[in-house]
Structure 1
């Protein structure tokens, strides 16, 4: 997914259009063996959480949209860079690459600076306390 501007981001979150753009983790990733390095497993889980929040509908419900935004701010920032790092680190390990390769390399909905500004205003919902 390409980086988008502030106003476009708000419209995208509220429109439900993200559901059409977000791919679920591949069967290979979801069936990851326990022998994978912990950092790989952690990224797969975080990437999955990011795609989950990006696909959540929030139109017409301001409270739900705030929950979604908070979830995205907890899981999405840094996933693209971390995926690239792990692909480079484990490029010679076929088992790890079979899990990492299917992941979307551009899942973050905005650039680093924009995400920092946006997430600075996200509040922790009651259910997450």
Structure 2
């Protein structure tokens, strides 16, 4: 990467800034730089109170124990739902538009998404492509 500065700054999710030299002089700086690049490739968004991580790494799914969670599925349909507890789910298949009650817009989730719904959220699920997911309530 060409730069007139000797340092490159990266804003991390907790809003702290990490600086490393463009030409790392130690192995530690190289590892930090690679870790920052890997984290920046993770696509996490929060919209209307719903957190979505697109295509999380398998290591994260393993760490959470996702493959051991129960599974749930449904065909294309539309229905209301209220979360009595916080739910984290990982969509194996499907495509859904989730519209929180009182919202004028929806959140789209699909296969490969790791999603967190907050406790107490009421919403409507509009399933356009049948869902198969692992889920965990807290």
The bucket for the TM-score relative to the shorter chain is under 0.3
Relative to total residues, which structure has the larger strand share, 1 or 2?
2
User: Quick one: higher RCO (CA 8 Å, sep 6+), 1 or 2?
Assistant: 1
Relative to total residues, which structure has the larger helix share, 1 or 2?
1
